[in-house]
Amino acid sequence: MNPETVKKPRAKRPAKPVNGKETRSKDRPGVRHVTVTRDHDGQRIDNFLARELKGVPKTAIYRIIRTGQVRISGKRCKPNHKVAVGDDVRIPPAHTREQGDFQVSDAVIRQVRNAIIHEDKDFIVIDKPSGMAVHSGSNLPWGLIDAVRQARPGEFVELAHRIDRETSGCVVLARSGEALRHVSDQFRDGKVIKRYLCLLDGHLKEAKVVVDEPVLKLRQTGSHTVETDDEGKEALTHFHLLQAYADCSYAEAEIFTGRTHQIRVHAAHLGLPLAGDDRYSSEASQRKWKKRGLRRLFLHAHSIRFESPGGDEISCNALLPDALRKVLDQVAA
């Protein structure tokens, strides 16, 4: 056969954009430009990219944002930047995991489905178990949001906020762009009421203790550590004593800002680290709580209250998990 007559294989067309209209790019091969539509108006750029770059770890998404490879209407951005209708988002090529690597098991899908404590046309509230991340990341092929999306193919579902992987309890997901914008504004303005149950290693000296200390995130390979620092971001936590025990305090923590590890860092700042905290408590404290049967962080997001787009109040409560209840019974004995 004459080599000139051999047909070259047709190049694969890029996947269709999830979040908006895609246009051809004059950049290097593989770069795409996506125009933001109304459904994603006000969405954080890291979450916007997570849907466009399916299978790409969050750490990789943060890296391409941080290095300036992602541009919004020609300008660099930060991960918490919120896109607007009509924005042109430059999306570089990014390495994904192998197809199928982040498929969530049927057992986890059932677990997440059974953990739904509220659902309406605007929101889903899930009682997230400890140990399950809210999204994929370094060495984490999937998170809560992936499980929900896999169970509801084709539906709009986005995280309205985040809680630590080690923390259990209420997580809000939005079912439309309008609902996401509405609740995101409430989180930004401090109008969402968030309360956590926690066990402090030591005695809370008063019935109510207020910690108003800025926190600063320190970047480390594969993880973050946070500390109180005047150069950090404003953070406010109220600790309310529920029950005093021989060497610990069962308390409710209400947060008025949503900083990474805020309750954990503020508890440690008081000299009362959370029971089971493997990052902000001493090794001696960790050994003590393991001997008492605690195998996780004692922090549970038990209550959240916010407003729907229609003006109705949504109030959700998640019961203290049995594993934590058993620890309380043990220290009370």
Tell me the catalytic residues: 164
Distance CA 26, CA 43 (A): 26
Question: How far is Cα of residue 172 from the mean position of the Cα atoms in its chain?
Answer: 10
Taking the CA atoms of the chain, what radius of gyration do you get in angstroms? 22
Element housing 123 (H / E) = strand 123-128
**What is the number of H-type helices and E-type strands within the chain?**
8, 16
* DSSP character string of 247-313: S-EEEEEEESS--TTHHHHHHHHTT-PBTT-TTTS-HHHHHHHHHTT--S--EEEEEEEEE-TTS-E
Distance CA 185, CA 165 (A): 24
Element housing 111 (H / E) = helix 106-114
Place of tokens 């997440």: 112
Going by the DSSP 8-state scheme, the letter that residue 318 receives in this structure is -
Burial 123-142 (b: 16+ CB within 10 A, else e): bbbbbbbbebbbbbbeebeb
Handedness of CA 230, 231, 234, 238 (dihedral sign): negative
Characterise 144 by phi-psi region: left (phi > 0), alpha (psi -120 to 50), beta (else): alpha
Contacts of 298 (CB under 8 A, 6+ apart): 198, 199, 274, 275, 276, 289, 324, 327
Q: Which amino acid is at 180?
A: L
Distance CA 28, CA 219 (A): 31
